[in-house]
A and B are shown apart, each in its own frame.
Chain A
Amino acid sequence: MSRTALRTIALGYLAALLVVPVGMVFYRAFENGFGAAWDAVTTPPAQHAFFLTITVALIAVPANAIFGVLTAWVLAHYDFRGKRVFDVLIDLPFAVSPVVVGLSLVLVWGRDGWFPSTEVIFSTPGIVLATIFVSLPFVVREVLPVLEEEGTDQEQAASTLGARNWQVFWRITLPTIRWGLTYGIILSTARAIGEFGAVAVVSGKIQGRTETLTLYVEDRFQSLDLAGAYAAGVVLALLGVTVLAVMTLLQRRHGRI
C-alpha cells in the first residue's frame, strides 16, 4: 500500500472516531450561544458538582503524590521478599473495572461491610476513597523509572558527608524526581476529575450533595436535559484538554518526545 493510502486510512479513522465526535459536542454545547451554555453550567447543582469534584481532587491527588513518592523510593532502594508481587499489585487499580472498585468499597465501609460506617458510603469520604483507589499508580509509575535510572550514588555521597535523611530527600531526591512527579500529579488529577464508575457506586448520586461533575453529566442526560449534559461535558472536556496540553508542552520542553 502506498504511503498516501496508509496516511488516509489512519487520519480518516482518527477523524471519524475522535476528532469529529469531540468537535460535535463543542458545537452542540454552544449552538444556542455562549450565554445559554454558561447558564447551563452555573445552575446551583452544577456549581455544587464542580466544587465537589475539585475538593475531592485536592484531597486525593496529594495523598497519591505522597504515597507514590514513598513507594517508588522504597522500590528503588530496597530489596525485600515479595517485592515483585508488590510491584505488580500496584498496577491493579489500572486493571480493575471502576464498578468493581465501587462495590469493593461498599463491601468494606457500607452498612453490612467489614468496617461499617455511616460517614463513608453515600458521602464525600467514600468518593475520596474511590478516587484515591483509581488514581493510585500514576505517581509511582512516573517516579520509579527516574529513580532507577539515577541510582543512589548522589544520595550516598550526601549521607557520607553528614546530611540527614530529610536533607538528602529535600536536596537530592526531590530535585531529581521533580518532572516525573509533575507528570504523575497531572495524570492523577485528570483521572481524579474524570472518574465515573467507582464514584457512581459509592456516592448514591444525591444531587446537590454527592453528585460530582461526571455524575452531573449523566444526571442531565438521563433527565433529557441534553443542553445541560453537553455544557457540563464541555467543561470536563476542557479540563481534560488543558491537562493534555500542559503535559505535552512540559514533555516537549524536557525532551521526552
Chain B
Amino acid sequence: MGGLSVAWLTLIVLIPLAAVVVRSFDEGFGAFWDAITNPQAVAAIKLTVGVSFIVAAIDAVMGTLIAWVLVRDEFPGRRIVNGLIDLPFALPTIVAGLVLLALYGPTGPVGINVAYTRVALLLALLFVTLPFVVRAVQPVLMGLEREAEEAAESLGASAFTTFRRIILPALRPAILAGVGLAFGRAVGEFGSVILISGNLPYKTEVASVLVYGQIESGNTTGAAAVSVFLLVVAFVVLLGISFIAKRGADR
C-alpha cells in the first residue's frame, strides 16, 4: 500500500519535476548559467523576489491586523467578513486578475488606472495571498490566554507595549508560517498577473511569465533553467515552514 502511494507521487509529481532539473543542465552548466544570468532573466528574477518581499511584509501587517479585528472585535456582519477572507482561495486566479482590472483598469469607474504597472502586480499578489497570514494567526489568537495581557495592562503598560511584549511573541511562529506561504505563492504566481501586469520585459515581467514566454517560443532549456530557480525557492519555503512547525511543536 505504501509503495503504491509513493509510486503515484513519483509518477505524477517527482518524475516531471526531475525532468525540469535535468533539462536545465542539458546543454551543460555554462548554458544553465547563461540562461539565468541574461539581463531579461535577471530583471524578472529581481522583480519577482523584490515584489514578493513587499507582498509578504504587507501581508504580515495587514493579515495580523485583520485576524485581530476578526477575533477580538465585535461588529455586525463579522461572520460574513470572516467567510470572505477565503474568497481569494476559492476564485480562479485568472478571475482574480480580471476582477482587479474591472475596478483598477483602464475602464474602471474610480479613475485609477494601474494596468501594466508594478502597482498592478503588487495588487494582484496581495489579492491572491490575502488568506495565508489571517488564517495562520486567527486560531492562535483565539487560543491565547487573556491573563498575561490583563496583568500587563493593570501594571500600567500601554496597549502598544502589551501588543509588542505579550501578544506579538505568541503570534510570531504563526505569522512567520503564514508569511512563508504567502511569499512562496507570490514567487510562483501566474494566473492573476497575466492579464493585469501587461508582462512588459524589464518592467512588469515576473519569473513565471518569463518561463511561460520561453516555453511558447520553444526555448524549453531556458525555461527549465529559470524554473529551477523557482523550484529552489519553493523547496526553501517548504523546509522553512516545516522547520517552524516542528520548533513550534517541540515547545
List residues of chain A with CB under 8 Å of any chain B CB: 1, 3, 6-7, 9-11, 13-14, 17-22, 24-25, 27-28, 67, 70-71, 73-74, 78, 80, 86, 88-93, 95-108, 112-114, 129, 132-133, 136, 190, 193-197, 200-201, 214, 217-218, 221, 226, 229-230, 233, 236-237, 240-241, 243-245, 247-248, 257
Contacts and interface: CB of A to CB of B under 8 A. Distances in A.
B6 A86 contact: yes
A100 B123 contact: no
Given A18-B87, A21-B99, A201-B212, A104 B190 contact: no
Contacts of B107: 226
A196 B84 contact: no
User: Taking each of A78, A193, A244, which has the highest tally of chain B beta carbons within 10 Å of its own beta carbon?
Assistant: A244
Interface in B145-200: 159, 184, 187-191, 194-195
Given A14-B66, A96-B231, A73 B1 contact: yes
Interface string B209-251: 1011001000010011001001100110111001000000000
A52 B188 CA distance: 26
B188 A100 contact: yes
Nearest to A221: B195
A74 B87 contact: no
B93 interface: yes
Contacts of B94: 194, 196, 214, 217-218, 233, 236
A98 B212 CA distance: 10
B100 A99 contact: no
Contacts of B184: 95
Contact of A21 (B90, B104, B190): B104
B103 A197 contact: no
A90 B14 CA distance: 10
A145 B172 CA distance: 23
Contact of B98 (A13, A19, A73, A217): A217
A103 B223 contact: yes
B238 A97 contact: no
Contact of A107 (B16, B91, B239): B16
Contacts of B224: 103, 107
Nearest to A195: B92
Given A99-B209, A236-B94, 12 more contacts: A7-B73, A22-B99, A80-B2, A88-B242, A92-B238, A99-B211, A99-B215, A100-B17, A101-B16, A103-B20, A133-B13, A221-B98
